[in-house]
Chain A
Amino acid sequence: MKITPEMVEHVAELARLELAGEDRRKMENQMVKILEYISLLDELDTSGVPPTSHVIDVENVFREDEVKPSLPVEKGMSNAPESVGTAFKVPKIIEG
């Protein structure tokens, strides 16, 4: 698997991480090494093997639709970096 600087930049963008200069080069080198190790899995034939997403078979778990107390709004908002009333405040979304 060839990892290019453009791929690292694209993945960082998807992950909303800002990687610049030396940090990006370091990340690229480490990802190359780790993915090289992971390519060990290629030698295993997995055709016909079903995937496991969860070790216990979780079926839908149902419960009665009852109204119960939930976290009060003030508590839910108490860690907000910035808020207005009961709303979270963020910097402007449409730029330019």
Chain B
Amino acid sequence: MKLYQETIYSLHDKLKAGEITSRQITESVLERIDAVDEKVRAFITRMDELALQMADDADKRFRKGEFLGFLDGIPVALKDIFLTEGIPTTCGSRILENFVAPYDGTAVSQLKNEGAVFIHKVNMDEFAMGSSAENSGFFPTHNPWDLDRVPGGSSGGSAAAVAAGEAIFALGTDTGGSIRQPASHCGVVGIKPTYGRVSRYGVIAFASSLDQVGPITKDVMDGAILLKAISGRDPADSTSADIPVPDYPSLLTGDVKGMKAGLPAEYFEEGLDPEVEEIVRKAVSDLEKRGMEIVPVSLPSTKYAVATYYIIAPAEASSNLARYDGVRFGVRYPDAKGLTEMYMKTRSQGFGPEVQRRIMLGTFALSAGYYDAYYGKAQRVRTIIRREFDEAFTKADVILSPTAPTPAFPIGEKVDDPLQMYLTDICTIPVNIAGVAAISVPSGLTNSGLPVGLHVISPPFTEDLLLNVAYAYEQERGVFPQCPL
């Protein structure tokens, strides 16, 4: 096995034993990027010099017997939504193509404090709005398992980078499935922690009541290590929860005997690809073999989740994106005669079509005369969806479903039909609406060799439980194949 193919903990062990150096890992990853990124196109900004410097600094520490943590000396891909001091941070948008972040966000600082090596800032749907990475203002990213297909989105660059070996692990964000859906499509693990588990400070805002930072990794143990590193209360984010962070990695026992897994009929209805269904049902029976009891649960309002999301998320986005006005940062339309013209031309030329669509939808839903019928209604439906999860969790410890109703779709297939694109997130969106935790774990390949993910959902702040179920499944499943690229 090449170094770029390994996990955080296997590399950590080798670093501790003095068998390898961080520079060797970093060079292995950079060579891999040279070899495959022309086809995958995962990154927006590559930081070779910084990466090698950070690797050498780590090696200096190791020679003195010092380790900052599990992540010390290990290369990471950062979604280009994370403010990274002195580094261009575009959020996948032309309107921020010249923006250099003046400070580090909290998750980025935490990775720095643990000694992680920053390799690149990776591609995404513009402002995290999309499910395919095709809405990037720069170029689409390709799925390493099938280059003619999308990697999923919006954290498409993060998932593709980890799957292709262009990073050992990655950081993403998930507002309606943006970590889990690309993880499912790229055959890697993606975690959407409970809302409030990880600080959002220094993460470019899309929909503030739904956005959450999370890990994209090669396996569940790596996910547990990364989640531990980034979780916790942050004085700079008043919505971050003041709840102790368990030592997730040491809690992975794989023992799930006697636990109950709920199977919601609403996630296995029409529209679900038969191959996906077969693979997910096999995964469910694997967990049954480990001693879990499978019980039926009902989430009857699942079918309203996408509609609810497409009011709440655009409404919050229309407000958050008001700041891109060409005054304090970002690209400005240069030849305006007055201020209003400058605003209008800056925003119309700087934002791509999907971002403009969502700003329009959100502005409409919040505008006088429509607020109650749209935004007010959606917030009430949100309560109903939350209550149904609460109710389901009285009958089951976790809920199992597919992560996405289909495997990765061909590039270009849905890009002109926004509504079809929105519906690809039907299994992941309810989790953000309810604010609960979820993970996608690779569970099989279709006949044409496309990865499919098992989606595990757990109550707020039970990531330890969530990870342990995912870990138990992984043990039963066995080694997942490497992507053929």
A joins B in a complex: yes
Which residues of A are interface residues toward B (Cβ below 8 A)?
7-8, 10-12, 14-19, 27, 30-31, 33-35, 37-38, 40-41, 44, 46, 49-56, 58, 61, 63, 71, 75-76, 78-82, 88, 90-93, 95
By a CB distance below 8 angstroms, the chain B residues around A38 are 307, 310-311, 374
By a CB distance below 8 angstroms, the chain A residues around B435 are 55-56
Closest to A38 in B: B307
CA distance A93 to B325 in the complex (A): 14
Using a Cβ–Cβ cut-off of 8 Å, how many residues does chain B contribute to the interface with A?
68
By a CB distance below 8 angstroms, the chain B residues around A35 are 361, 364
Whether B130 is near chain A, meaning CB under 8 Å from some CB there, is no
Q: Across the interface, do A17 and B356 meet the contact criterion of CB distance under 8 Å?
A: yes
Q: Across the interface, do A46 and B342 meet the contact criterion of CB distance under 8 Å?
A: no
CA distance A81 to B343 in the complex (A): 13
Whether B380 is near chain A, meaning CB under 8 Å from some CB there, is yes
Q: Across the interface, do B318 and A15 meet the contact criterion of CB distance under 8 Å?
A: yes
Q: Across the interface, do A17 and B239 meet the contact criterion of CB distance under 8 Å?
A: no
CA distance A93 to B307 in the complex (A): 39
Contact bitstring B413-426, A, C-beta under 8 A = 1, else 0: 00000110010000
By a CB distance below 8 angstroms, the chain B residues around A33 are 418-419
B236 to chain A, nearest CB (A): 11
A52 and B379 contact, Cβ closer than 8 Å, known pairs A17-B348, A34-B419: yes
By a CB distance below 8 angstroms, the chain A residues around B318 are 15
Pick the residue among B328, B330, B418 that contacts A34 (CB under 8 A): B418
Q: Across the interface, do B383 and A52 meet the contact criterion of CB distance under 8 Å?
A: yes
CA distance A45 to B341 in the complex (A): 44
Of the A-B pairs whose beta carbons lie under 8 Å apart in the complex, a sample of 8, sorted by A's number, is: A10-B367, A18-B347, A27-B360, A33-B418, A90-B327, A92-B337, A93-B338, A95-B339
By a CB distance below 8 angstroms, the chain B residues around A55 are 195-196, 209, 386, 434-435, 460
Whether B308 is near chain A, meaning CB under 8 Å from some CB there, is yes
CA distance A51 to B419 in the complex (A): 25
Q: Across the interface, do B364 and A63 meet the contact criterion of CB distance under 8 Å?
A: no
By a CB distance below 8 angstroms, the chain A residues around B301 are 44
By a CB distance below 8 angstroms, the chain B residues around A51 are 376, 379-380, 382-383
- Which one of B28-36, B98-106, B222-230 contacts A? B98-106
For the complex of A and B, the 6 pairs showing the least CB-CB separation, nearest first, are A55-B435, A51-B379, A79-B329, A81-B332, A46-B380, A95-B338
